Chains A and B, each alone.
Chain A
Amino acid sequence: MSGAPSTVSELPLKRIPPHGAPVLPRLLAGVHSVGAMTLTEHLSVHGPMSPVYGGRRRRDRAHAAMLMDEIERSGLLGRGGAAFPTATKLRAVAAGRGRAVVVANGAEGEPASLKDRTLLEMTPHLVLDGAVIAAEAVGADELIVCACETAGISVQSVERAIEERAAHPISVRSPQIHLRAVPGHYVAGQESALVNYLGGGPAKPMSTPPLPFEQGIGRRPTLIDNVETLAHVALIARHGALWFRQLGTPTQPGSALVTLSGPVADPGVYEIEHGASLSSLIDAAGGATMGLRGALLGGYAGAWIGREWLAGVALSGEHLAAHGASLGAGVVLLLSDRACPVAETARVARWMAGQSVRQCGPCINGLDSLARTLEQIAAGSAEAGATRRIEHLASLTARRGACGHPDGAVNLILSALDAFDADFAEHARHGACDRCACSPELPLPDREVSHQRSRGAVV
């Protein structure tokens, strides 16, 4: 951790010194509490953009190779949830046949995540810088920025930013930049679903191979990177890999945006250092306002951890792996001790079943059966051996779809059985508990979170 938490409004507008002391915020440096940073503000906070050549001459290609090496040395992992090494993906796209396309993925279909829309809304130029640099690295001449259509403010913010750059070009060359608003359902941001949608089809996953890095939009090699990943690329290109590694852990370097929801004084989007403790994040959000029952990490494809682990948990991949969890796309949902974890899990499982785009049999049938069994357990109407039935259904559902949607839902459900085994046993014996009747806590669309004002702050 780097010093005391500070709120956005206290942050002075100043450039982060290259190779200086580890300092947060990085991505959220200089952001306003409302509205986007202008291009001028962006450049005064982060400094000029590193030169982009993007040509085909030997000097240009050498510069692209240098960028790629620097990103590799930084150890940057993708921030869309899969934590895949960014440099590996860049190299695969660069090695593909034909002119590449870059997609900045801000689809953010996860209802519990607000970080991508926050980033696009508050600091769109940082994402655009990173996307332009990635385009240079892979030799792309076209760049498509995808924002979620339900996040109107972020769509407008990117639109204005693209206009600003057209009026005041800041790099020698820039690829063509297009903005696309994409549907808000859960799997719309899945890579092949985006390729499908951007190619004129529905936003539904496609059967792979070929994977997008081989043949994506218009059968061209397509780099699809989360918008936060690209924002980190923009900073790595400016300050270098060593600077990037001054925060975080050796295997998961750098800072990360996290969406914190639940019973805390100030829920919202926070920038943390990888490896920061969950307690420090909760403290930065003004502390818990109720007793806590557990936390769901990584969103609705993530994993529950029970209350006994909350105090000791560190927010890093390697630490969370020991709990069968990950940060995913940076989602931390806290559940109060007034909520019933069985009822909450059943409710989210039903929602996840509804988010199946109904292409693959095991996903359609498996998620529906899982949700129904969970609902029966919560209501006390399940047959004996219902938890074994869930484990059986889980094995029939996971890894049998065209995308990872069923796997994510199964992950959530199995982790609930593990973290809340006593509650499940209690429901199986006695049916619904007193807490089942409490109003639902985990945010799902049609509740306030999808329209909640996103906030930026720092841990």
Chain B
Amino acid sequence: MSHRVRVNPIACEAHGMCAELLPERITLDEWGYPIVDLTPIEDWELEHARRAARACPTFALLVARERRARP
């Protein structure tokens, strides 16, 4: 089962916690919004990513299981 880190762009308010906690996957753009590496995350990163997601003040960071594509 593969996982990816995703941002809900509507919920995100550019607090920037995610880039602090998951710098290997997330950098911030010039306005403070996260630029996320969308490639599947390795198993060893999973707990780390989940911790970053829990720390997001607006719950905008998601660790999602792979979904089927849009028809």
Interface residues of chain A, those whose CB is within 8 Å of chain B, are: 88-89, 91-92, 205-207, 209, 211, 213, 359-363, 365-366, 396, 400-402
A207 to B9 Cα, complex, angstroms? 7
Q: Which of chain B's residues have a CB closer than 8 A to the CB of A209?
A: 67
A206 to B30 Cα, complex, angstroms? 24
Q: Is B63 an interface residue (CB 8 A)?
A: no
CB-contact partner of A89 in B8, B14, B30, B71, under 8 A = B71
| Chain A to chain B: the 3 pairs with minimum beta-carbon distance, closest first | A92-B71, A360-B9, A361-B33
A88 to B10 Cα, complex, angstroms? 28
Contacts known (A209-B67, A211-B70); A362 close to B29, Cβ less than 8 A: yes
A36 to nearest B CB, angstroms? 34
Interface residues of chain B, those whose CB is within 8 Å of chain A, are: 8-14, 29-33, 35, 67, 70-71
* Nearest chain A residue, comparing its CB with the CB of B7: A400
A381 to nearest B CB, angstroms? 20
Inter-chain contact B10/A360, CB cutoff 8 Å: yes
Q: List 28 A-B contacts (CB under 8 A).
A: A88-B71, A91-B71, A92-B71, A206-B10, A207-B8, A207-B11, A209-B67, A211-B70, A213-B71, A359-B9, A359-B10, A360-B9, A360-B12, A361-B9, A361-B13, A361-B14, A361-B33, A362-B29, A363-B9, A365-B30, A365-B31, A365-B33, A396-B29, A396-B30, A400-B33, A401-B9, A402-B9, A402-B10
A402 to B6 Cα, complex, angstroms? 12
Inter-chain contact B10/A207, CB cutoff 8 Å: yes
Q: Which of chain A's residues have a CB closer than 8 A to the CB of B31?
A: 361-362, 365-366
CB-contact partner of A361 in B12, B67, B71, under 8 A = B12
Known: A206-B10, A207-B11. 8 other contacts (CB 8 A): A88-B71, A213-B71, A359-B10, A361-B13, A361-B32, A365-B33, A402-B8, A402-B10
